[in-house]
Structure 1
Amino acid sequence: MIGVSLIVISLIYCLQERLNPIYHTVSKRKPPSLYHSFWYMYGALLSQGGEPLPTSLAGRTIVSCWWIFCIVSIAVYSGNLTASLAIHKTKLPFTSLEEMVNQKEYKWGTLGSSAFQTVFEESKVPTYAAIWNGIVEFNKSDPSVLSKSGEEHLQKLYKGNYAFIMAKQYIDFETAGHCNLVLLNEHLARNEVAFALANNSPFVRILSNA
């Protein structure tokens, strides 16, 4: 695109200067040739400039517009290059539970005898049922996918190729500082948290109004 623009602007600049009457009446300079026009525009594209400057007002207008185009193009290119070098975009293996059950690279699990196991085991939702079927299949060769120890699931998570389905609060706390872990932006169910306090505790009103 820029190469085509370079050729076109060189032709326009050369023709405009050669047909401009200023070179035949006022100026003693000869109008630039196509060769000179091309290298002048090419030098501007590389931020090198060129000599001599056009004599006519129309020629200077064309050159000014070309310089603006070059500056904007270089700025956009530099910005995109810097962004592509600074940010490493990693494609996630899946971004939803539905995608998770349809891939073969990752296993998944949850806490055994937990509410999550009950939800998956008894749910009629196709995706949840597929999650449970996967856990049952994984459990045949790897019983730890239904381990009751959250720490065991986390260790499998850190090793890779494993997805741990658990309460977001727990995952946020346990994985704080691990930048190589990603949370899916999908919620299974609303999770209520309660505090047990003694009767007539002074903290009841404080927590209720928090």
Structure 2
Amino acid sequence: MSPLYEFAATLAGNWSDIPDTLGRNLRIELPKTREYPEKKSPNRTRIITTKLESPFVIERNSINGKPQVGNDRYEGYCIDLAEELSKRVKFTYTIKLVNDQNYGKFVDGAWNGIIAELLKDEADIAIAALTITEAREKVVDFTKPFMNAGISLMIKKPENEKPGLLSFMKPLSYKIWLCIIMGFLGVSLIFYMVGRLSPYEWQRLGSESEPSDSYSLPNTLWFSLGALMQQGPDMFPRSLSGRVLGSVWWFFTLIIISSYTANLAAFLTFEKLTIPVNSVDDLVDNNHDIKYGIQTGGTTETFFRDSQVVVYRKMWKFMKEHADSVYVTNSDMGWEKVKNGKGKYAFLLESAMNNYYNQRKPCKTMKVGRNLDQKGYGVATPKDSDLRQPLNIAILELREYGDLFKLEHKWWISKGQCPSGDSGEKGKRALNVSNVSGIFHILIGGLVLALASSLSRVLFHRKIKDTLEKGTCSVTKMKENKDIASTPRTVKNVEPEELEENKSVN
């Protein structure tokens, strides 16, 4: 629009029925001086508005006892991002916190939070965990997203399942163990039959003894057990059928023992986590009696409220019915509720915050399932801002050069307080008693059984020996009595005088 056209558009006139001295009925009046808005200097210090949200923006009061002022009062992912953007776009800035601690929501015909401050020219840039949405994009400008996120599920990390008494049996399923036992008994029985039927298995123990079969049922059981334990047998089959059966059984035990050994280390050192839910579908089924909630007044609430997906609408209905017990006002409260909920509360929040809280002590929460949606965090500016395009290019440069990844790794991983789940230290830890307690129980049981068996046999043989000795003594005594009874006695003639003397002595 040319200046002449603008001036003509501002002219105003009044029509009068009485002409003036010049005969004109239209009286044109010159406009009053127009007040144009003052053009802001591009070199001015820009105001960056943000919101406290760990690890994006964290407030620090002092460093080494020295109070911090100005921009040094804050640290975090967004603070480092603002510094990187200022270096590339060449501007100075000062950071301020949003007055009402809201990101921005259209309520009662007006925007609040960060979006409101941009609309009112109270801030030039907004750098925070501000989600790019359709409604916000209509009133402010966003750059390309500097971080991708989505709504995710946080639950309390279940306790590690301690190894049981029979944990050494876990490398093979119970069906496999049953099949091994059945194979052991079957091979032993067939060995016994082969030994009885094949003439090659019969041999003489002495020159005058009858030929005997060494493959008795106890011996075949011992042979099969020795092969299963990878021990050398005391006897070897001589018949072709016996050697074929022995070879097949040895090959079978070789594969079984090798497979068992390969999996044993992993099962003894791995403590399994039994996760009660794996997705939001498990929450909707409510088979585990777990309540779930969200933060009020954010994009997560808007997502569930406007969603047309059946599962999400069921979740929205449930949360509205239990609003007093499941809703929280901020992410910190949701995290605390999950930690103290004894596994009976799940929290739905954006994945970036979920990953951050899961790296905080006491390390008792975890993320499960996939993200429910896809969204991004972007830098916002007022409409037609002179910084919008330079900031957009700077964001793309930071992404291409890997600087955004470095910032994310710094604030989520490097500053994390929990050990990484994929570190190699877990596989190198030493075994404790609980891992191998079952083996010691079997050893002690075997020792007790061996001692009891040995003692019982000793007592049994002693009793038999005593019985045999008593029987031998009885037979000997009976034989002696019989010999005495069969021996004729010689009667000596005694004089009457001797009888009288014996009577008197008695």
TM-score, structure 1 as length reference: 0.75
- Pairwise mapping of residues 83-94 of structure 1 onto structure 2 (< 5 A)? 83-94=266-277
- Pairwise mapping of residues 51-90 of structure 1 onto structure 2 (< 5 A)? 51-77=234-260, 83-90=266-273
Structure 2 distance, partners of 1:71, 1:54, is 19
Q: Which moved more, 1:72-81 or 1:45-54?
A: 72-81
Partner of 1:183, secondary structure, is strand
Q: Give a deviation string over 1:7-46, Cα, whole Å, max 9, x none.
A: 3322333443455455679xx9854333222322233234
Q: Percent identity?
A: 25
Gaps of 5+ in 1: none
Alignment-derived partner of residue 203 in structure 1: 394
Selected match of 1:38 from 214, 221, 233: 221
Task: Look up the equivalent residue of 1:42 and give its one-letter code.
Answer: L
Closer, same or farther: CA 191–56 of 1 in aligned 2, 3 Å? same
Alignment-derived partner of residue 182 in structure 2: 4
Q: Is the 8 A contact 2:202 2:214 kept in 1?
A: no
Structure 2 distance, partners of 1:24, 1:189, is 78
- Pairwise mapping of residues 161-172 of structure 1 onto structure 2 (< 5 A)? 161-172=344-355
- Greater relative contact order (CA < 8 Å, ≥ 6 in sequence): 2
Q: Is the 8 A contact 2:195 2:214 kept in 1?
A: yes
- 1:123 matches 2:307: yes
Closer, same or farther: CA 205–75 of 1 in aligned 2, 3 Å? closer
1:96 is displaced (CA, Å) by 2.2
Selected match of 2:331 from 150, 160, 168: 150
Alignment-derived partner of residue 281 in structure 2: 98
Structure 2 distance, partners of 1:23, 1:184, is 64
Task: Look up the equivalent residue of 1:166 and give its one-letter code.
Answer: L
TM-score, structure 2 as length reference: 0.35
Selected match of 1:184 from 361, 365, 368: 368
Closer, same or farther: CA 88–147 of 1 in aligned 2, 3 Å? same
Partner of 1:164, secondary structure, is strand
1:134 is displaced (CA, Å) by 2.1
Q: How many residues align?
A: 205
Q: Is the 8 A contact 2:201 2:215 kept in 1?
A: no
Gaps of 5+ in 2: 1-178, 382-386, 402-506
- 1:50 matches 2:233: yes
Task: Look up the equivalent residue of 1:12 and give its one-letter code.
Answer: I
| Higher strand content, 1 or 2 | 2
| Higher helix content, 1 or 2 | 1
Closer, same or farther: CA 205–24 of 1 in aligned 2, 3 Å? closer
1:83 is displaced (CA, Å) by 5.0
Q: Which moved more, 1:116-125 or 1:80-89?
A: 80-89
Partner of 1:182, secondary structure, is strand
Q: Is the 8 A contact 1:11 1:34 kept in 2?
A: no
Structure 1 distance, partners of 2:396, 2:224, is 76
1:62 is displaced (CA, Å) by 2.3
Selected match of 1:13 from 191, 195, 198: 191
Partner of 2:292, secondary structure, is strand
